[in-house]
Structure 1
Amino acid sequence: MEKFILKSGKALARLRSGINDFFEDKIEGNVTNVILFILSFFILFVTSFSLIFGIQSIIEGYVYYLILFIILAVILVWLAIFYESDKHLETDRHNFKVVPIDKYRIRFEYINLDKDSKEQFLRLLKGRYVQQKINFTVGNKSGDSANHRILFVLFDELFDGGIQDLTGERKQDFFLLLMNSFLMNNEPLKENTLKTSFSAWKNDQEKINSRNQRKFIRQMLNKE
């Protein structure tokens, strides 16, 4: 039994390898080619059926075969459309995991978000990119640095694992997300400013001002 399983496994592996090579070389991952291949296989199956049971059986039941062919074609096209939509959905999502949070308990007035900005912020919470940038104005009286720091605290509380330990490409992705999602007092965020502010913010976590900022954000998110 063991030898049979081993030989069968090797045979199946060769068969699967051949099928994979065929799809890679001939079909080339093209959705249209896959649909045409499956429809051709269906036609070949019907033709083989006629050779076994006679052409008369095909003639008598051609309406049923035609209906099956149309249904199969519609299903395949729909699956192709669904697959393509999945790819577009993936491009609409950022790669940061947001902690579970009740959006109805968030006090948006704390960070001065209007209705449109609120909708865009909720997109971020759902793991999606914004459609228009959010103008972040909190901390104007303390200057731009305070704005950046409060924004950092906000995402440190929102993202699973926080942002303090982000390094390299992951940190770059975070900065890019901020630059593509926010304006700072109607001005674009600058990468160099983000880098400088982020480093300073990380080193000041134990200072009273940083603690007050975190308390402010936690109250805004209704965490305390």
Structure 2
Amino acid sequence: MAARVDHLVTSGTFSLDGGTWEVDNNVWIVGDDTEAVVIDAAHDAAAIEAALGGRRLVAIVSTHGHDDHVDAAPALAAATGAPVLLHPDDLMLWKQKHPGTDPDGALADGQVITVAGTDLTVLHTPGHSPGAVCLYAPGLGTVFSGDTLFQGGPGATGRSYSDFPTIIDSIRERLLTLPPETVVRTGHGDSTTIGAEAPHLQEWIARGH
């Protein structure tokens, strides 16, 4: 059976730099009826475990270390035995939420995670955070962009550890070079495509947010 993409939305808070905001997060599950990978264990480990439906969890992949994307990761790992993977450049963000602990493994640019016969290639896309990554699944015609690229523009860069020129470089060099029909499944909000976003790069640069 070919891999499929399941989706649920979980709700909670995002806290950084002394502020806290209510957020809804996309949780993506890639797999078949036997095994799966979770991309961003946000807010509600029980809901994510229920969505897995008893499938073997291969890994919990964190697109970045902001607390709304990793807050449920340790509980989900404890419940399933799956390792939590994070790019090491975001360890300082992880430790703000989970002090005294470390993820189980490190993500690296070009690393391939295979689930249900489908390859997810790690693309290091810093900017929203230093260790932000996207996961490209050419076999599914999709990229999981975390908070790097949204419908309508790049992820936020107004808080600690983020940088606007860096996120623009990441999007230009790592994402807009993907086939235009590639579906962009984002960390929050609606999906889009590379082809829909690519024409607006210069507008984003001019806007400079």
Give your verdict on TM over 0.5.
Answer: no
TM-score by length of structure 2 reads: 0.26
Q: Which structure would you say has the larger RCO, counting Cα contacts within 8 Å and 6 or more residues apart?
A: 1
Bigger Rg over Cα: 1
